[in-house]
């Protein structure tokens, strides 16, 4: 059954989301197979699963392509926007063996967060673009931290940097690795959130942003 939020799209728009995803999926897969991947601390993902929790993967919107490839075929449930752009991105994510929930900070946020909460509590990893769907870029919204506090599952900070890249002229400056480039990926240590109070969420959001900044510095160092 069609997701409720996508009903706001016209029939033509829904068809376009599928056509765009159908063309983009093989192109992204072919590109990523040419890339050399340097990965640090990948064990954090498995460590969270072994602890009996589901990781809540947190990253900036500009790294959505590398996150989609790296976490492919893992049953991750990702939060995507209900608008047209969000839905063709959602279709690409689904082509890569994961699932999506439609919602955003501007529409459907509460329903989407509650749906993600149920998924995480059932043991499914979640993917969360912190500054989506429209920014400001690299300003973390509180949804991911709230989800971690509500479920007891830790955040898993993720960042990637490419040695050679195209940068999309959009608000999030999306990074697309060039063919045969090297991409450095850093996964931060699991970040638990102690409760759902305003203070806990504010402190968790600040710590998450700081960790992602450290991840970025480390990824850039790995490319030298």
Q: CA-to-CA distance for 179 and 173, rounded, in angstroms?
A: 18
Domain of 214, CATH number, reads 3.40.1010.10
Q: CA-to-CA distance for 118 and 165, rounded, in angstroms?
A: 37
Per-residue pLDDT of the chain (224 residues; tens, 9 = 90+): 344 444 579 999 999 999 999 999 999 999 999 999 999 999 999 999 999 999 999 999 999 999 999 999 999 999 998 889 999 999 999 999 999 998 765 445 788 999 999 999 999 999 999 997 778 999 999 999 999 999 999 999 999 999 999 999 999 999 999 999 999 999 999 999 999 999 999 999 999 999 999 999 999 999 99
Q: CA-to-CA distance for 159 and 147, rounded, in angstroms?
A: 20
The number of distinct structural domains making up the chain is 1
In a domain? residue 3: no
In a domain? residue 1: no
| Radius of gyration, CA atoms only, the chain | 17
- For 170, the domain range is 8-222
pTM of the model as a whole: 0.93
> Which residues lie closer than 8 Å to 115 by C-beta, 6 or more apart?
101, 103
Tokens of 106: 């501007």
């Amino acid at each position: 059954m069609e997701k409720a939020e996508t009903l706001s799209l016209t029939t033509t728009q829904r068809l376009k989301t599928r056509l765009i995803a159908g063309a983009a999926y093989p192109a992204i897969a072919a590109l990523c197979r040419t890339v050399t991947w340097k990965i640090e601390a990948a064990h954090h993902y498995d460590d969270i699963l072994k602890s009996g929790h589901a990781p809540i993967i947190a990253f900036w919107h500009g790294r959505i392509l590398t996150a989609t490839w790296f976490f492919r075929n893992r049953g991750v449930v990702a939060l995507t926007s209900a608008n047209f752009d969000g839905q063709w991105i959602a279709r690409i994510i689904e082509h890569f063996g994961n699932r999506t929930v439609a919602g955003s900070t501007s529409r459907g946020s509460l329903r989407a967060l509650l749906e993600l909460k149920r998924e995480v509590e059932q043991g499914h990893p979640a993917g969360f673009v912190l500054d989506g769907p429209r920014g400001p870029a690299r300003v973390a919204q509180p949804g991911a931290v709230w989800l971690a506090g509500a479920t007891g599952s830790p955040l898993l900070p993720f960042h990637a940097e490419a040695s050679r890249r195209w940068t999309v002229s959009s608000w999030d400056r999306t990074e697309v690795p060039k063919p045969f480039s090297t991409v450095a990926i850093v996964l931060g240590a699991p970040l638990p959130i102690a409760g759902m109070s305003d203070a806990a969420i504010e402190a968790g959001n600040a710590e998450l942003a700081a960790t992602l900044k450290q991840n970025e510095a480390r990824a850039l160092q790995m490319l030298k």
